[in-house]
């Protein structure tokens, strides 16, 4: 089972490799789901590829966002360079981008991001059938579901095991987009889930903030036993020491060592095993949304009775009774009741503190100097090595020969054979022994390799100058490194194949509606609405497949599209289709007649898409669904929460216990109907959730307020 580690910068990249990561995922400046990370320039990325390949490590480019047509063609220039330089795989969310890569970059592995929300074996096998090598499953799946998908599919499976949990299913969160134009599906999430909320004037705390995920020894062994191919660690925006420690921790667990984790000193919101087990009571952390660390003990306003050891240089944070941060400092002096100016204080001692905020109720350590120093020391003294085989042949009267070989990470044999300039002579006195030859050949500690003697074949009593042997070895190893790195390169690349924009023919549009109740359906029928869909579930989890309505003419998830019993269906807007390449891809599924475009596409980008093989629809009215979450967020069927800026959200519990979070103010672009027809829209979709019959009538009579949300300006 491989470890796939994050790298949002060169420093994090080196830390992950030094700690023992098998594969690294990282972004290119301006692209990917962590666009706020430092990320790498094109030249830095090429250097990183060589560094990783010299150590047998794979590198995956993260392009796991939805993309517009112009962006797909823009990234192609850089992707072409990385492809030729030996990039190992691309992690994608967008079906259009996947289609583009498959056509233009043959042999480049495609990995399905967790943003795709592939939550069952049918969807996993579909990805395999269209050329994907691996898929990252949603964090919301239980172990039993993961096991079932493993048993029923043959695509590589990757599981997130650590890091920050999103409250929403990845790829199904639009809150940041709708309230501020910063799209999580575009790598620019503003993290509204980490804010405080109220309900009916009462403080709800951090209603939408889960604890960090951390799988331990038991969970890792279970995943290993069922044949999971790789585990993924989160943290592209975390510090290098966090990355190093987390990789090192999971390397120990995979190797069967049940070690105590100390990641709480690096970053956490409290830990849980997430959705791995069916009991989900421990997932949320409403008390706080940021890094706290460890509670240091009982504080009485002046003195702190320690339940953890502290040393000079530790970082502490002060919290109110509501766990609000009200200050923090680094410890530069330690005074206890019985001793002053100590370097450390142990469990049970009473620490005297001065200049503490009056409201302080709890004191936590959020930075451990001891652990940080240990990690820094390890990072300076460790490195990942690539294994090579070494052979030597020494026959009297012949040239000495050193053969070094290894496999690159694509299991291709790389081999170098060098001979000395002079022939070997018979020793006049004591000859060069096999033990000495072996010892000198293995002295390659200053390289990226670790050697193993495969074979030494020598005559008796040969004479070989040690300097000759060492130079021969150095030259062979140097040449092997060069050949190893070059083995990943592709000398040529075909001309890029692009889908040219086709001129749009003006459409005559119909009105359709997505309904939640029969009452809504009946009103719409009385108004002569052309087409009615029933609201579905955004995610088709393995354990819920029998609850998915395959007779509904709208598919809200990939499973519902693939298995649908109708001859003509519509793809829902939450599948995030936003470019002509994605339309072209889905034209291969004959039953897909219409696609509702992503509500994160602007009118301008919609115009640039041009004519498509499949009919285009657009969400023209509806309370925007900000999140789709697996959790039931309270006992109420319907609940309203409000953020600190005054934005209101309605939480609706659906029939399978998931929570759907909606904005209060509806999207409404019905007055743009003529314009939309001119740019190729053939269907305007109205989505109704909690609307009363009177409200529905007002909308149909044109009385609703115009609000375009992202259609007008687009999203970041």
State how far the Cα of 60 lies from the Cα of 641, in Å rounded to an integer.
39
Average pLDDT over residues 608-625: 97
In 3-state terms, what secondary structure has residue 625?
strand
Q: Given this model, what pLDDT does residue 33 score? A: 46
Q: Mean pLDDT over residues 63-81, rounded?
A: 94
Tallying the residues shown for the chain, one arrives at: 716
Strand partners, 214: 162
Element (H or E) spanning 438, and its range? helix 434-441
pLDDT at position 181 = 87
Using alpha carbons only, give the angle 644, 645, 647 rounded to the nearest 5 degrees: 100
Interaxial angle between packed helices 240-254 and 217-225, expressed in degrees from 0 to 180 and rounded to the nearest 10 = 60
Sequence-ordered strand ranges (E) for 427-551: 449-458, 462-463, 510-515, 531-534
Q: Is the pLDDT of residue 316 over 60?
A: yes
Higher model confidence: residue 445 or residue 14?
14
**402-437 in b/e burial notation, b at 16+ Cβ within 10 A?**
bbbbbbbbeeeebebebebeeebeeeeeebbeeeeb
Element (H, E) at 377: helix 369-381
The single-letter DSSP state of residue 140 is T
Which of 128-132, 318-322, 459-463 is predicted most confidently? 128-132
- Residue 263 scores a pLDDT above 70: no
pLDDT at 190 over 90: no
The span from the first CA to the last CA of the chain, in angstroms, equals 36
Give the dihedral sign, CA 47/50/51/52.
positive
- Strand, coil or helix: 575: helix
pLDDT tens by residue, 487-529: 999 877 788 999 999 999 999 999 999 999 999 999 999 999 9
- Lowest mean pLDDT: which of 127-131, 190-194, 693-697? 190-194
CA distances, 588 to each of 558, 561, 583 (Å): 14, 12, 9
Q: Please give the average per-residue pLDDT across 523-549, as a whole number.
A: 96
Q: Tell whether the model's pLDDT for residue 267 goes beyond 80.
A: no
Give the chain's radius of gyration (CA, Å).
30
> Distance between CA 99 and CA 102 in Å, rounded?
5
Q: How many C-beta neighbours within 10 Å does residue 465 have?
A: 12
Across the range 27-39, mean pLDDT stands at 66
Q: pLDDT at position 229, please?
A: 98
Q: Would you list the DSSP string of 508-543?
A: --EEEEEESSHHHHHHHHHTT-SEEEE---S---GG
Q: Where are the alpha helices (DSSP H) in 119-162?
A: 121-129, 143-152
Q: Which residue has the tokens 């100016």?
A: 341
Give the residue-averaged pLDDT of 187-209: 86
Task: Quote the percentage of the chain above a pLDDT of 90.
Answer: 76
pTM: 0.92
**What span, in angstroms and rounded, lies between the C-alpha atoms of 106 and 108?**
6
Q: At what angle do helices 369-381 and 240-254 cross, to 10 degrees?
A: 80
Mean per-residue pLDDT, 580-598: 98
Across residues 551-574, what is the average pLDDT? 98
Q: If you average pLDDT over residues 681-708, what whole number do you get?
A: 95
Residue 694 has pLDDT above 80, yes or no: yes
Report d(CA 699, CA 705) in Å as an integer. Answer: 9
3-class DSSP assignment, residue 13:
helix
Average pLDDT over residues 155-162: 97
Q: What pLDDT shows up at residue 494?
A: 80
**Would you tell me how many other CB atoms lie within 10 Å of the CB of residue 20?**
20
228, 159 Cβ separation under 8 angstroms = yes
Per-residue pLDDT at 59 exceeds 60:
yes
Query: Which of 375, 326, 4 shows the shortest CA–CA distance to 162?
Result: 4
DSSP 166: P
């Amino acid at each position: 089972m491989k470890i796939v580690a994050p790298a949002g910068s060169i420093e994090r990249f080196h830390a992950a490799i030094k700690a023992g990561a098998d594969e690294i995922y990282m972004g290119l400046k301006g692209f990917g789901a962590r666009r706020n990370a430092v990320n790498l320039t094109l030249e830095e990325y090429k250097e990183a590829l060589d560094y990783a390949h010299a150590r047998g490590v794979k590198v995956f480019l993260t392009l796991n966002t939805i993309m517009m047509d112009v962006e797909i063609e823009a990234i192609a220039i850089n992707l072409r360079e990385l492809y030729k330089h030996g990039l190992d795989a691309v992690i994608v969310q967008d079906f259009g981008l996947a289609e583009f890569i498959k056509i233009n970059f043959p042999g480049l592995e495609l990995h399905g991001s967790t943003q795709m929300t592939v939550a069952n074996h049918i969807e996993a096998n579909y990805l395999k059938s269209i050329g994907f090598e691996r898929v990252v499953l949603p964090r919301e799946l239980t172990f039993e579901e993961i096991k079932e998908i493993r048993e029923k599919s043959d695509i590589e499976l990757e599981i997130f095991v650590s890091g920050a949990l999103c409250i929403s299913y990845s790829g199904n969160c639009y809150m940041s987009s709708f309230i501020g134009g910063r799209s999580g599906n575009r790598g620019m999430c503003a993290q509204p889930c980490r804010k405080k909320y109220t309900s009916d004037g009462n403080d709800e705390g951090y209603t939408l903030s889960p604890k960090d995920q951390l799988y331990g020894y038991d969970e890792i062994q279970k995943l290993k036993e069922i044949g999971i191919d790789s585990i993924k660690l989160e943290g592209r925006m975390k510090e290098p020491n966090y990355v190093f420690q987390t990789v090192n921790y999971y390397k120990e667990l995979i190797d069967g060592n049940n070690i105590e984790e100390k990641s709480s000193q690096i970053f956490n919101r409290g830990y849980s095993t997430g959705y791995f087990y069916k009991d989900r009571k421990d997932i949320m952390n409403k008390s706080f949304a940021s890094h706290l660390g460890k509670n240091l003990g009982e504080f009485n306003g002046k003195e702190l009775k320690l339940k953890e050891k502290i040393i000079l240089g530790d970082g502490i944070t002060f919290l109110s009774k509501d766990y609000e941060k009200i200050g923090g400092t680094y410890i530069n002096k330690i005074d206890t009741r019985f001793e002053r100016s100590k370097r450390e204080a142990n469990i049970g001692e009473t620490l005297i503190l001065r200049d503490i905020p009056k409201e302080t109720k709890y004191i936590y350590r959020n930075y451990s100097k001891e652990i940080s120093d240990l990690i820094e020391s390890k990072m300076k003294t460790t490195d990942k090595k690539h294994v090579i085989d070494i052979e030597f042949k020494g026959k009297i009267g012949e040239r000495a020969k050193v053969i070094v070989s290894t496999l690159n990470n694509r299991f291709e044999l790389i081999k170098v054979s060098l001979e000395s300039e002079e022939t070997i002579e018979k020793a006049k006195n004591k000859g060069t022994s096999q033990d000495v030859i072996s010892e000198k050949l293995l002295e390659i500690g200053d390289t990226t390799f670790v050697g193993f003697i495969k074979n030494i074949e020598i005559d008796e009593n040969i004479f070989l100058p040690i300097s000759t042997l060492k130079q021969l070895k150095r030259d062979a190893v140097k040449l092997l490194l060069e050949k190893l790195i070059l083995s990943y390169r592709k000398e040529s690349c075909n001309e890029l194949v692009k889908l040219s924009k086709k001129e749009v023919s003006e459409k005559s549009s119909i009105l359709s509606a997505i309904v939640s109740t029969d009452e809504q359906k009946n009103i719409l029928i009385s108004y002569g609405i052309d087409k009615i869909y029933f609201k579905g579930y955004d995610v088709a989890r393995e354990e819920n497949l029998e609850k998915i309505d395959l007779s509904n003419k709208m598919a809200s998830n990939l499973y519902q599209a693939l298995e649908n019993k109708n001859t003509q269906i519509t793809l829902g807007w939450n599948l995030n289709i936003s470019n002509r390449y994605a339309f072209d891809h889905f034209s291969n599924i004959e039953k897909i007649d219409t696609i509702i475009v992503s509500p994160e596409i602007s009118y301008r980008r919609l115009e640039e898409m041009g004519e498509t093989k499949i009919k285009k629809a657009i969400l023209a009215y509806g309370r925007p669904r900000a999140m789709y979450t697996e959790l039931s967020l309270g006992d109420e069927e319907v609940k309203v929460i409000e953020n600190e800026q005054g934005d209101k959200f309605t939480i609706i519990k659906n029939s399978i216990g998931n929570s759907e979070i909606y904005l209060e103010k509806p999207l409404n672009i019905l007055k743009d109907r003529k314009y939309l027809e001119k740019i190729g829209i053939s269907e305007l979709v109205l989505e109704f959730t909690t609307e009363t019959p009177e409200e529905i009538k007002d909308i149909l009579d044109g009385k609703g307020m115009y609000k375009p949300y992202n259609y007008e300006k687009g999203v970041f």
